[in-house]
């Protein structure tokens, strides 16, 4: 037993030794970061921490903390991790700084895809893209002679076949946990049906045919899901996949690596990726493309901003990508496209839209996340649910001063 | 004598009585016991849906190792003996350690001694004794089955939590916050409680009623009232620092105003305030039970109120203060909402820190580490009940119980 | 005690409570009548985001908040009277629900505030008797048990009470969620597929169970402590009078415990009225929400970064009204005691 323990320790030491790269410079300015907590962020913040004096805070609830923490003077964090949705509050409050000069000075290695530009100002440095796309159990589909679904109707038919064959009790999975996840599922499908969320006056326009169809498709999907779908977040769904409890789901690209993690997964090599199914025949994949990246706070000294930019460039270098290739679909040079990234790339090539991040969309997303569950548990009709969504959106939009 | 016999319950009632106690004990402890068991297994075993796999942990035993019958027997013996000793003897120890006649110092030292003793016993003595037994019995023919491991166990999740993820930092933060809250809360609470117990004025009455309403307030209401000013405190307080009259005074403490967000001291102040209503109500009823003739006599002898409080009341108030202190401890130690919203990662206490484990859990070993962290948080509370059990019951009998 | 001395003694405690409780409360009260809005203007901007293989640039119309000269967003604070309360209470919808064509109670329970109110009230009222009864039952049985086992039994009984509520809730959740072992046990028992987190009422049962489990030990300790001081003479007299076991309990022990039953009830009413941890621990927001959770949720920034501070203020004021109603009987009783003293 002691021998085993020693061996294990030795392996860990060697492992960390190999992963520990050299930082190009010694950082002597105290820098704090606040980012989300998934695998890719672990990799990037670890790479930045090698330079010294970096305190990384990884928190999936960063969204609720970030706006206030960046509005403080001096800002409580110098670097923030954002996505296209979460950058909106920071842009609105004007709490992040344009990075044009800093990028010119330190960002030689950044690719054009990484520069998030608004009216010529570089506001964020993107590092990866993320999207929900189809993951399926290749072995099950092949065995039952099912083609990889390209539309939601095909997906439902495939689910019915799998269930009838008695292979898996609940063949479908989804990230339908109430709140943000559920709202995101609605957004994906609704855009797939060609819906618009607001008109030019920012008045809500979801109570329409596309909205009803979206809700009905979601409900049809839940018929093939574990009945506890309203608590099913990404981690829950990942476990279901790993334990072989689901055969198909529209799931985040950032979770693909976990499917082939031999320590956790009983389905290594059996889960394959494809473009997200389309909502209508011949339409674009019903999903939205997200990017994740970093911003630098406005209310800090220029010296800190400079150090922050150097750290970002160091954290997003080729070395980090090579060591963590499967942690994300990186936008950074040196990323090697593996089968795990195929779903995202296929979705992007199929011209899936970018997530339409904006102030009004933020309000709409919240309203959707709060109300869609009422329809799925059957306590309201589709029209009623959508009317509730619009009412909640209007209340919050009026309070924010967005509509009069 | 005859009534005592008449009160002796008949057998069926005794049986029902015993059955109910057993039922309650299982209900009370099962979920905690289960979490404890899970925390010592590898993910494959711990998350299995078969309860026997969870308990015996075959893969854990295979991959890491396990415990034999004799190890478990030793553990149980140590636990029971330790419990008996702590439960019955800590009071005596505390009185022995009461340096300078300060009983609170005695309790503090006693708790530290018990903690240290348990740590040494559990990490050094117990494994050594178990190892000796294993070696001894393992060599004897026919007794090998006693030491043959049959329950898988691993401490790797605890190592990961405390060593790799530096949970001890959160532990230290928790201790700072909890210690600060208990000390300050009791100091100002005893003063207020004493004054309230010794006045019958309407003012005191309405003060108590207001405190009662404060006690009932949802904390989220208050906390979010603090959040924006705490984050902006540097800007808000700047005029004070720059004012020509008082500026010099504030600059004595620091050259510029502090950002209160993330400061343990600010959280301590908030938790003390939230806790004050309960503290003063509880201490007031304790002081009401101390006959007011005591301090009145001291006053007649020419003592001021403060002197009377210090010389006459302080020596007899400790049972009440210890009980109230325990409730303050629980409030501060268990707090989630206030600490989660007002502290940043560097000064985070244990309870909010654990929810961050859940927020970033993407692998099953993360789940198990969260469970190990949960058990780690519970362990000091476990110890607390062991040490103070008698004080809780007797303190409640003496004071608050009178309503 | 002179007023001056009184204030010196009470001073520090009072100052803290004023500064950290009363002050925020007053600001919340004022806030509930105001609304602060951002000032937006529409602008067409050119944005570039990652694409495959090249970035995609397009121009869109954006609502952009106007910034003041310091670069902070401009806001307009406006007195709105009772509008925030109206948004929460939706009197129109209530009137409609109770009109001839309305759906009655079912119609208003879809409105968040009433949904939360319904849950909070039933939660409080159902757990109250259960906590008292269970607490009493444990106290009486432990008191009847032999002295040797009382210590360990009290020790184990106290565990659910002292454990961190979030962790306690999680420990029960782990037993029941997905394929948890208790779910498997129930499935085996009922020979039926069980999903505890799929519908509201099962989650509600778990939440009720957790609260009773968590608080009953507190009731138990208080009652147990009081049982130690039962007047033995009165019990002896009852035995002489031939009172049965039940009659002795009903007419001697219960009256002795009555002030404490009231004490525990009040503490429990106050605490369960602000039920919150259960919602987080059991992730029940899709099915069941409470008043404190509603306030908390309104205060949490939405996806556009806005906190609905004004509505949250109104919802906390409404919660406050409930608390005051709850406390009136106690205040009156204490007032009478005070006058007598």
Instruction: Considering only CA atoms, give the Rg of chain B.
Output: 26
pLDDT tens readout for residues B269-297: 889 988 888 888 888 888 887 777 777 77
pTM comes to: 0.84
Residue C292: predicted pLDDT: 85
- Helix, strand, or coil (residue A294): strand
Output the six-digit token pair for C304: 């556009």
Of B64, B234, B359, the CB nearest to A61: B359
Residue A225 gets which letter from DSSP? B
CB contact under 8 Å between C276 and B389, yes or no, is no
A263 vs B363: CB contact, 8 Å cut-off? yes
Q: Give pLDDT tens digits for C250-270.
A: 888 888 888 788 888 888 888
Backbone angles phi, psi at A171, to 5 degrees: -70, -25
Query: What are the chain A neighbours of C306 within 8 Å (beta carbons)?
Result: 89, 362-363, 396, 399-400
Which of C40, C45, C178 is facing A402, going by the closest CB pair? C40
> Of the ranges A380-394, B142-156, C175-189, which is most confident?
A380-394
Of the candidates B43, B261, B346, which has its C-beta nearest A55's C-beta?
B346
Comparing alpha-carbon positions, the chain A residue that sits nearest to B62 is A1
pLDDT at B2: 44
| pLDDT score, position B360 | 59
Sign of CA dihedral C259, C265, C266, C268: positive
* Mean pLDDT along residues B103-116: 77
DSSP bridge pairs for C37: C76
pLDDT digits (tens, 9 = 90+) for C207-242: 999 999 999 998 998 888 888 877 778 778 887 887
Q: Is the peptide bond before B270 cis (omega within 30 degrees of 0)?
A: no
Q: What is the pLDDT of residue A305?
A: 92
pLDDT reading at C196 higher than 80: no
Instruction: Of A301, A128, A144, A159, give the one whose Cα is nearest residue A226.
Output: A159
Which run of H or E residues covers position C141? Answer: helix C112-144
**Per the structure block, which two tokens stand in for B228?**
């924006």
- Predicted pLDDT of residue B393: 74
Q: Does C161 score more than 60 pLDDT?
A: yes
Interface with chain A: mutation pick from C66, C302, C314, C315, highest number of A CBs within 10 Å: C302
In angstroms, rounded to a whole number, what is the distance separating the alpha carbons of residues B360 and A58? 8
In the block, residue with structure tokens 């609605």: A186
Say yes or no for a CB contact (<8 Å) between B222 and C24: yes
- Does the beta-carbon distance from C63 to A360 stay under 8 Å? yes
In the numeric block, which tokens belong to residue A72? 């403080």
pLDDT of residue B241: 75
Q: Concatenate the DSSP letters of all residues of A113-168 into one string.
A: GGEEEETTEEEEEEEEEEEEEEEEEHHHHHHTTPPPP-BHHHHHHHHHHHHHTTS-
Q: How far is CA B247 from CA B239, B243, B256, C279, in A?
A: 8, 5, 10, 47
Mean pLDDT of the C19-47 span: 83
Instruction: Please provide the distance, in angstroms rounded to a whole number, between the alpha carbons at the two ends of chain B.
Output: 33
- Mean pLDDT over B314-319 rounds to 76
| Residue from A129, A141, C237, C12 nearest B194 by CA | C12
Q: Of chain B residues 106-165, which have a CB less than 8 A from chain C?
A: none
Which residues of chain A neighbour C49 with C-beta distances below 8 Å?
Answer: 84, 116, 126, 291, 354
What does residue C186 show for φ and ψ, rounded to 5 degrees? -65, -40
Q: Do A230 and C197 touch (CB under 8 A)?
A: yes
Q: Which of A37, A49, A71, A252 best tests the B interface by mutation, with the highest count of B CBs <10 A?
A: A37
Across the interface, do B232 and A72 touch by the CB < 8 Å criterion?
yes
pLDDT at A132: 92
* Contact: B359, A71; criterion CB under 8 Å: no
Which residues make Cβ contacts (< 8 Å) with residue B201, sequence separation at least 6? C3, C6
Gap between the Cα atoms of B304 and C254, Å rounded: 44
Residues 204-243 of C with CB under 8 A from A: none
* Sequential pLDDT tens for chain A (404 residues): 333 433 343 333 333 333 345 777 888 888 999 988 778 888 899 899 888 888 888 877 787 778 878 887 788 899 999 988 889 888 888 889 999 999 999 888 888 888 888 888 899 999 999 899 999 999 999 999 999 999 999 999 999 999 999 888 899 999 998 888 999 999 999 999 988 999 888 899 999 999 999 999 999 999 999 888 888 888 888 888 888 889 999 998 888 888 888 777 888 888 999 999 999 988 899 999 999 999 999 989 999 999 999 999 988 888 889 888 888 889 888 888 888 888 888 998 888 888 888 888 988 998 998 889 889 988 889 998 999 999 989 988 888 888 87
Query: Closest residue of C to A378, CA-based?
Result: C199
Query: Higher model confidence: residue A161 or residue B111?
Result: A161
What is the residue-wise DSSP string for A62-76? HHHHHHHHHHSSS-S
Chains that touch C (3 or more CB pairs under 8 A): A, B
The CA distance from B159 to the nearest CA of chain A, in Å, is: 12
Alpha-carbon span B382 to C160, nearest angstrom: 10
Query: Which residue of B49, B221, B392 is in closest CB contact with C181?
Result: B49
Burial of B80 (0-12, 13-18, 19+ CB in 10 A): exposed
Q: What is the pLDDT of residues B340-384, one digit of tens each?
A: 777 776 677 888 887 767 665 566 777 788 888 888 888 888 888
Distance CA C314, CA B266 (A): 27
């Amino acid at each position: 037993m002691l021998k085993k323990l020693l061996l294990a320790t030795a392996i860990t030491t060697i492992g960390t030794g190999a992963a520990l790269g050299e930082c190009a410079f010694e950082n002597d300015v105290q820098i704090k970061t606040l980012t989300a907590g998934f695998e890719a962020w672990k990799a990037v913040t670890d790479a930045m921490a090698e330079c010294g004096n970096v305190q990384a805070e990884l928190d999936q609830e960063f969204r609720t903390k970030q706006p206030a923490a960046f509005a403080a003077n001096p800002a409580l964090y110098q670097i923030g991790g954002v996505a296209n949705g979460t950058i909106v509050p920071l842009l609105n409050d004007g709490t992040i700084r344009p990075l044009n000069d800093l990028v010119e000075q330190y960002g030689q290695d950044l690719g054009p895809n990484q520069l998030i530009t608004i009216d010529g100002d570089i506001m964020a440095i993107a590092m990866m893209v993320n999207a929900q796309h189809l993951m399926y159990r290749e072995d099950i589909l092949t065995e039952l002679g099912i083609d990889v679904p390209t539309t939601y109707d095909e997906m439902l038919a495939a689910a019915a076949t799998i269930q009838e064959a008695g292979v898996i009790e609940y063949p479908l999975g989804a990230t339908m946990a109430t709140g943000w996840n559920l709202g995101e599922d609605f957004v994906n499908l609704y855009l797939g049906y060609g819906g618009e969320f607001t008109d030019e006056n920012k008045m809500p326009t979801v109570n329409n045919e596309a909205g009803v169809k979206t809700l009905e498709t979601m409900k049809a999907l839940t018929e093939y899901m574990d009945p506890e779908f309203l608590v099913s977040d990404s981690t829950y769904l990942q476990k279901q996949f790993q334990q072989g409890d689901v055969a198909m789901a529209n799931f985040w690209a950032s979770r693909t690596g976990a499917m082939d993690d031999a320590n956790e997964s009983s389905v290594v090599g059996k889960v394959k990726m494809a473009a997200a199914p389309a909502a209508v025949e011949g339409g674009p994949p019903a999903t939205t493309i997200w990017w994740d990246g970093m911003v630098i706070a406005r209310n800090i000294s220029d010296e800190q901003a400079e150090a922050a930019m150097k750290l970002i460039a160091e954290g997003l270098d080729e070395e980090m990508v090579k060591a963590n290739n499967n942690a994300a679909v990186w936008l950074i040079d040196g990323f090697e496209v593996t089968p795990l990234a195929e779903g995202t790339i296929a979705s992007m090539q199929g011209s899936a839209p970018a997530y339409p991040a904006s102030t009004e969309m933020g309000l709409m997303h919240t309203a959707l996340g709060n109300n869609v569950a009422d329809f799925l548990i059957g306590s309201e009709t589709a029209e009623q649910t959508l009317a509730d969504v619009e009412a909640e959106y209007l209340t919050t939009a009026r309070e924010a001063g967005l509509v009069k | 004598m005859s009534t005592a016999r008449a009160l002796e319950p008949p057998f069926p009632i005794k049986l029902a009585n015993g059955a109910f106690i057993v039922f309650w004990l299982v209900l009370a402890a099962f979920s905690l016991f289960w979490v404890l068991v899970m925390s010592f297994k590898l993910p494959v075993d711990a998350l299995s849906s078969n309860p026997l796999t969870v308990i015996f942990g075959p893969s854990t035993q295979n991959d890491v190792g396990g415990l034999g019958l004799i190890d478990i027997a030793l553990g149980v013996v140590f636990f029971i003996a330790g419990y008996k000793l702590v439960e019955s003897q800590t009071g005596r120890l505390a009185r022995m350690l009461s340096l300078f006649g300060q009983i609170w110092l005695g309790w503090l030292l006693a708790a530290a001694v018990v903690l240290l003793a348990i740590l040494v016993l559990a990490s050094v003595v117990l494994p050594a004794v178990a190892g000796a037994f294993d070696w001894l019995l393992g060599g004897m023919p026919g007794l090998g089955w006693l030491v043959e491991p049959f329950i898988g166990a691993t401490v790797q999740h605890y190592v990961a939590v405390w060593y790799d993820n530096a949970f001890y930092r959160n532990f230290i933060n928790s201790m700072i916050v909890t210690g600060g809250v208990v000390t300050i809360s009791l100091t100002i609470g005893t003063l207020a409680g004493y004054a309230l117990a010794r006045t019958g004025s309407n003012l005191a009455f309405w003060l108590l009623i207001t405190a009662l309403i404060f006690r009932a307030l949802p904390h989220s209401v208050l906390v979010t009232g603090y959040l924006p000013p705490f984050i902006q405190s540097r800007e808000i307080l700047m005029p004070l620092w720059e004012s020509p009259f008082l500026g010099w005074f504030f600059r004595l403490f620091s050259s510029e105003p502090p950002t209160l967000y993330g400061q343990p001291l600010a959280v301590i102040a908030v938790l003390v305030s939230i806790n004050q209503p309960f503290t003063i109500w509880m201490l007031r009823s304790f002081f009401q039970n101390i006959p007011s003739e005591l301090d009145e006599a001291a006053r007649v002898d020419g003592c001021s109120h403060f002197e009377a409080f210090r010389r006459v009341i302080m020596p007899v108030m400790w049972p009440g203060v210890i009980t109230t202190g325990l409730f303050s401890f629980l409030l501060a130690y268990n707090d989630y909402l206030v600490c989660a919203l007002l502290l940043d990662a560097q000064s985070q206490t244990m309870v909010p820190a654990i929810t961050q484990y859940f927020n970033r859990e993407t692998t099953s070993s993360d789940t198990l580490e969260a469970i190990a962290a949960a058990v780690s948080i519970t362990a000091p509370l476990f110890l607390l009940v062991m040490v103070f059990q008698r004080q809780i019951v007797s303190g409640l009998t003496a004071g608050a119980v009178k309503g | 005690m002179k007023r001056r001395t009184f204030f010196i003694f009470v001073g520090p405690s009072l100052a803290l409570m004023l500064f950290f409780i009363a002050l925020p409360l007053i600001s919340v009260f004022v806030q509930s009548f105001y609304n602060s809005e951002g000032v937006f203007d529409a602008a067409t901007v050119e944005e570039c985001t990652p694409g495959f293989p090249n970035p995609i640039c397009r121009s869109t119309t954006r609502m952009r908040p106007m910034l003041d000269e310091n670069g902070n967003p401009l806001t307009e604070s406006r007195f709105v009277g009772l509008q925030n309360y109206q948004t929460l209470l939706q009197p129109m919808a209530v009137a409609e629900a109770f009109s001839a064509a309305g759906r009655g109670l079912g119609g208003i329970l879809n409105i968040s505030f009433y949904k939360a109110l319904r849950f909070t009230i039933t939660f409080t009222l159902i757990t109250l008797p259960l906590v008292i009864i269970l607490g009493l039952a444990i106290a009486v049985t432990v008191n009847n048990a032999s002295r040797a086992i009382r210590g360990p039994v009290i020790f184990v009984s106290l565990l659910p009470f002292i454990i961190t509520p979030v962790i306690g809730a999680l420990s029960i959740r782990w037993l029941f969620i997905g394929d948890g072992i208790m779910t498997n046990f129930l499935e085996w028992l009922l020979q039926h597929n069980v999903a505890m987190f799929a519908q509201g009422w099962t989650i509600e049962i778990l939440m009720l169970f957790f609260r009773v489990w968590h608080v009953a030990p507190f009731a138990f300790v208080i009652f147990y402590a009081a049982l130690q001081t039962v007047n033995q003479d009165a019990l002896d007299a009852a035995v002489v009078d031939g009172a049965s076991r039940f009659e002795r309990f009903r007419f001697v022990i219960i009256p002795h415990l009555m002030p404490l039953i009231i004490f525990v009830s009040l503490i429990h009413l106050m605490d369960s009225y602000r039920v919150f941890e259960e919602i987080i621990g059991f992730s029940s927001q899709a099915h069941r929400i409470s008043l404190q959770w509603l306030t908390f949720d309104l205060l949490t920034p939405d996806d556009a970064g806005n906190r609905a501070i004004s509505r949250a203020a109104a919802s906390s004021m409404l919660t406050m009204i409930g608390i005051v109603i709850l406390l009136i009987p106690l205040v009156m009783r204490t007032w009478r005691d005070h006058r007598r003293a």
